[in-house]
A and B are shown apart, each in its own frame.
Chain A
Amino acid sequence: MVIDALSTDACWRHLAQVPTGRLCFVEDGEPMVLPFNHALDGHSIVLRTAAGTALHRLASGATVAYEADATVPVTCEGWSVVVRGHLAEITDDGERADVARLGLHPWASGRRDHYLRLRPWAVTGRAIRATAVDEESEVVR
C-alpha cells in the first residue's frame, strides 16, 4: 500500500464525486461533527441548514473543517479530503439565487432554507492505493 498526497485540483475533483461529507466545528470548546450533503460552487462548499441550529449561530466566520471520503473496503483503498476554512451564511439575495441553482436539496425532511458557504483557506487530501505488482517487485529488487 502507498499513500499519496493529493494536489489541490485533485482534491476538488474528488470532492465533486461524492454528495456527502462531515462538518466539524467547535461549540463551547466541544468538537461537534454533523454529516451533510453538499454542493460545490467553484472552489467553495455550499451547505444548507435550518435557522437556530448551532451551525447557523456559527455561520459568521467560524473556523471549521469539512471532510469527505470514499473507500473500497475490498482492496483497502480510499481517499479523504479535508477542507478548512471559514463558514458564513449567504445573505445576499443575488448570491442566494445563484446557489439555489446548484440543486442542493437536503436529504432529511424539514425546512433547511439557510445556505452556508465554506470558503477554504486550506485544502488537503490523501489517497491510499494498493501497490501495483511491478512496483512491489521493484521494492524486492
Chain B
Amino acid sequence: MSEEKHEIGLEVLGTEECLQLLSGAVIGRVAFQADGVPHLLPVNYAADADGTVVFRTAEHTVLESVGGRPAVFEADGFDAVNHTGWSVCVRGTGRELTGHDTTARRLLELTVISWAPGQRDRWFAITPDEVTGRRIPLVRAADFGWIPGVVS
C-alpha cells in the first residue's frame, strides 16, 4: 500500500503520533466484511497504550459479527476551514472480550462511555497487527509565495 497513488500529497505519521491521536478521540469507526458486504459502523471507544481499541455493543447487533474477522478501526479529525486533517487506522482481528484471560480482563477495565442509550454489555477489541496514519499537510498561502495583504 505504501506506493499507492492515493498517498500522494499525504504525510505518513509515525506509530507514536498515531497512538497519541488515537488516545485523544472518542469516536471511531469499525470496518469489516460480513455476509459479503462491507460494514462501517461508528462507535465510542477507548484505546490501550499499544493501540488496541475497545468498544461495546448490545446483543444481536451487526457489530457483534466483527468477532473473529479481519477488521479495521479508523479514527480521524478534519478541519474544513483549512482543508487539513488526519486519519489513523488500526488493522487487526476483531475479538470479543470475555474476561477469560489477563489481557481481556485488563482491557475490560478501560472506560468506554457509550453515547447511545441502552445496555451495551458485549465488549470487543481489535488488537493491532498494524497501526498506520496519514495527515493532509496544512498548505499555507505563504508556501505559494503569496502573503495576504502583501501585494507584490
**Judging by beta carbons under 8 Å apart, are A31 and B115 in contact?**
no
Shortest Cβ gap from B126 to chain A (Å): 11
Contacts of B139 in A (CB 8 A): 109
> Is A20's CB under 8 angstroms from B8's CB?
no
Which of B12-20, B48-56, B77-85 forms part of the interface with chain A?
B77-85
Q: In B15-70, which residues have CB < 8 Å from any A CB?
A: 26-27, 29, 31-33, 36-42, 70
A108 touches B136 (CB 8 A): yes
Contact with B along A48-82 (1 / 0, CB 8 A): 01111111000000011111010101001110101
The answer for the CA separation of A22 and B27 in the assembled complex, in Å, is: 13
Whether B38 contacts A64 by the Cβ 8 Å rule is yes
Question: Taking chain A's interface residues, is the majority helix, strand, or loop, or is none over half, making it mixed?
Answer: strand
The A24-42 residues at the B interface (CB cut-off 8 A) are 24-26, 29-35, 37
Interface residue A110 (Cβ < 8 Å from any Cβ of B): yes
Chain B residues near A107 (CB-CB < 8 A): 83-85, 136
Residues of B within 8 Å of A, CB-based: how many? 41
When C-beta atoms are compared, the residue in chain B nearest to A81 turns out to be: B42
Given contacts A1-B115, A2-B117, A20-B85, contact A33 B33 (CB under 8 A): no
The answer to whether A10 has its CB under 8 Å from any CB of chain B is no
The minimal Cβ–Cβ distance linking A5 to chain B, given in whole angstroms, is 12
Q: How far is the CB of A19 from chain B (nearest CB, A)?
A: 5
Are the CB atoms of A108 and B39 closer together than 8 Å? no
CB distance from B138 to the nearest CB of A (A): 10
Contact flag A128-B39 (CB < 8 Å), given A29-B70, A69-B27: no
| Chain B residues within 8 Å of A102, by CB | none
Q: Taking the nearest CB of chain B, how far is it from the CB of A135, in angstroms?
A: 12
Q: Is B116 an interface residue when CB atoms closer than 8 A count as contact? A: yes
Indicate if A84 sits at the interface (CB-CB under 8 A).
Answer: yes
- CB-contact partner of A1 in B29, B40, B116, under 8 A: B116
Assess whether A73 is in contact with B26, with CB atoms less than 8 Å apart: yes
Say whether B10 faces chain A, with CB atoms less than 8 Å apart: yes
Whether B5 contacts A53 by the Cβ 8 Å rule is: yes
What residues make up the interface of B, taking CB atoms closer than 8 Å to A?
A: 1, 4-6, 8-10, 26-27, 29, 31-33, 36-42, 70-72, 74, 76, 78, 80, 83-85, 87, 89, 91, 113, 115-118, 136-137, 139
> Which 7 pairs across A and B sit closest by C-beta, in order of nearness?
A110-B8, A108-B9, A109-B9, A110-B9, A24-B40, A50-B5, A107-B83
Cβ contacts A to B, 8 pairs, < 8 Å:
A24-B39, A33-B72, A65-B31, A65-B39, A71-B27, A82-B41, A109-B9, A110-B5
